[in-house]
Amino acid sequence: MRMTQLFSQTLREAPGDTDIASHQLLLRAGFIRPLAAGIFSYLPLARRAMTRIEAVIREEMDAIGGQEITMPVVHPADIWQETGRWYRIGPEMGRFQDRAGRDMVLAMTHEEVVGDLVRKEIRSYRQLPAMIYHIQTKWRDEPRPRAGLIRVREFTMKDSYSLDADWEGLDKQYRAHYIAYFRIFNRCGLPVIAVKSDTGMMGGRLAHEFMFLAPIGEDTLLLCDSCGFSANREVARFGKEVIDETPTLLDMEKVATPNTTTIESLAKFLNIPESHTAKAVFMVATIPEGEQDTERFVLVIVRGDREVNETKLINAVKAKAMRPARDEEIRATGAVAGYGSAIGVKNALVVVDEMIPTSPNLVAGANESGYHFLNVNYGRDFKADIVADIISARDGDPCPNCGQPLRTVRGVEVGNIFKLGTRYSDSLGCSFLDQEGKSRPIIMGSYGIGVGRLLACVAEQHHDDKGLIWPISVAPYAVYLVVIPDEQAKAAGEQLYTALREAGVDVLIDDRDERAGVKFNDADLIGLPIRLTVSKKSMEKGGVELKRRDQDGIRLIPLAEVVTQVQAEIQTLWTELRAGVRNVEYRD
């Protein structure tokens, strides 16, 4: 491809609304262009890079028995209604009506479509196990698209679906995906870790996320360097201390605590640790009940030194969404904001963290402005409808497995895998006849990788202050051929361009009538693995300059040997990349 013909142009500066390196560089290097918030066009360089990523994905999916299909982007709403997700998913779902007034859905994921296919195609145990996948457009109306391709509304995803006759078969296919995902990410030059995660809207028994560790990540992860425990903070458990196994329960006492509407001010006023207080949080949960949603006031009690984990809370009350309660809603239960507790409230779903029953004699609100109760004890003074783990783990908390301190890091989710079980088979009637002729539900798994987000994360991992540095497996072209305007150099450059293409080397020739500095800057910005420079100066020295984008040194190669040397350098790049592709054992 010639730069003079490339449908793209580089930018000297990134737009002012970009805040991370990958977004800035992919814009400046002419890979992507925004159309609207969270919606991008992928120009030829990006399209070629994504095609290479998709080729890696296809190879690894095929290697574990995958069969590629293509499923629609537009779905009739009735299959989503059958599974109930039509009623449980909020405004992030793209809903519209066709010309006949039928409710339709823009694909967020394809479990429903797979279920519809399976109930029509699978009849016998002889057709199992199976695994199908596709690479298709998805739509999720994110409320806050950000960071370029990291969080978008329209995106391309590889999603695969395993189908098994029993749970042992699901375990096998889940492990196969787990291992294949590490190979995919490693082959793309992206280091990742796998962490346990929330099943979320997907449902099911177990889920893992594959995380690229980076400060730009929106997810907080808890890791144990001692035993290898890892989990997303949304679901991470930790060792919780018991303050006193045989406490003496003191008499509850009401005390004046003026101007103490926060835990910090209360603890300071009473000269006690925040861990000796009980924090009340007022929320309203949207809980699906059949085809209708019901709002329920939720009074949450956690120890004063801890924070409520909203994901854990949503799961505990089986809600589809959660919002802070309004002042009038709080007053209607008999509670008082800033001085609230579960004592004396009415018409509230009371949820307490599992640390509360083992934390005696806490200070809690008296539900009266300016007053608190001393020595409040769970079971004696108030009870809960639900006792569950609803607080967030943090740095230094004990590992739930070995007790050593956990540490937090930030990460970007680039893939996920789910053990769905019979979640969709039951609702959609996906069954098969076993060897005894009995009808049994098909056991399903679901597995996703965001292709555009993976591209962005590779860019985030592989760049410097000059531009992108693509791994050979992802690079849109292997070679950037710079021709410095001069009659002799132009002729040699054209000859070399033709020779490289005939040898099967993907090459981008910079044949523009621009200064050498502009061409070198764009070569660094676009970040192809190898740069060749043909100039009057190099020709006088006896050849062509070869420079790897990830190295500083420049070598002079005789013109007759350039193709051979480039092929050898490309092979070296592949060898170096493959050395980093490691086989990973599955870990629960």
State pLDDT tens for residues 501-526. 999 999 999 999 999 999 999 999 99
Q: Is the pLDDT of residue 76 over 90?
A: yes
Of all residues in the chain, the percent with pLDDT exceeding 70 is 98
Q: Is the pLDDT of residue 332 over 70?
A: yes
Confidence of residue 206 (pLDDT cuts 50, 70, 90): confident
Give the amino acid at 128.
L
- Give the range among 105-119, 149-163, 184-198, 200-214 with minimum mean pLDDT: 200-214
Phi, psi of 531 (to 5 degrees): -115, 130
Find all residues with CB under 8 Å of 417, minimum gap 6, and list them: 174, 177, 178, 181, 207, 208, 445, 446, 447, 448
pLDDT of amino acid 539? 87
* pLDDT (mean) for 136-162: 95
pLDDT of amino acid 117? 97
pLDDT of amino acid 245? 63
Confidence of residue 197 (pLDDT cuts 50, 70, 90): confident
pLDDT of amino acid 213? 94
Q: Is the pLDDT of residue 288 over 90?
A: no
pLDDT of amino acid 363? 96
* pLDDT (mean) for 471-487: 94
Taking the C-alpha atoms of residue 338 and residue 457, their distance in angstroms, rounded to an integer, is 43
Find all residues with CB under 8 Å of 552, minimum gap 6, and list them: none
Higher pLDDT, 491 or 197: 491
Buried residues in 23-36 as b, exposed as e (16+ CB within 10 A): bbbbbbbbbbebee
Length of the chain: 588
Q: Are 54 and 42 in contact (CB under 8 A)?
A: no
* pLDDT (mean) for 353-380: 95
What are the E-state strand segments in 268-382?
278-289, 292-303, 321-324, 349-353, 362-368, 371-376
Higher pLDDT, 16 or 172: 172
* pLDDT (mean) for 373-377: 96
Taking the C-alpha atoms of residue 154 and residue 160, their distance in angstroms, rounded to an integer, is 19
- Residue 325 is classified by DSSP as P
Q: Is the pLDDT of residue 293 over 90?
A: no
- Give the range among 32-46, 50-64, 213-227, 558-572 with minimum mean pLDDT: 213-227
Question: What average pLDDT is seen over the chain?
Answer: 93
Place of tokens 């196994």: 245
Residues 536, 537, 542, 548, Cα dihedral to 10°:
-110
Place of tokens 């360089």: 45
Q: Is the pLDDT of residue 204 over 70?
A: no
* pLDDT (mean) for 310-319: 92
pLDDT of amino acid 120? 96
Instruction: Label residue 70 exposed, middle or buried (CB < 10 Å: 0-12, 13-18, 19+).
Output: exposed
Cα four-point dihedral sign 532, 537, 539, 541 = negative
* pLDDT (mean) for 487-514: 93
In the chain, what are the domains?
A: 42-236+408-460 (3.30.930.10), 253-388 (3.90.960.10), 467-579 (3.40.50.800)
pLDDT of amino acid 584? 83
Global pTM reads 0.87
- Residue 243 is classified by DSSP as S
What are the E-state strand segments in 119-242?
130-139, 154-164, 193-196, 206-213, 219-223, 230-232
SS3 198: coil
Q: Is the pLDDT of residue 425 over 90?
A: yes
Q: Is the pLDDT of residue 569 over 80?
A: yes
Q: How far is CA 232 from the centre of its chain?
A: 11
Strands 407-421 and 443-450: antiparallel
Residues 425, 427, 430, 433, Cα dihedral to 10°:
90
- Give the range among 170-179, 237-246, 367-376, 573-582 with minimum mean pLDDT: 237-246
Q: Is the pLDDT of residue 247 over 90?
A: no
pLDDT of amino acid 382? 95
pLDDT of amino acid 200? 65
* pLDDT (mean) for 9-22: 89
Beta bridge mates, 159 = 134, 448
Q: Is the pLDDT of residue 202 over 80?
A: no
State pLDDT tens for residues 428-445. 999 999 999 999 999 999
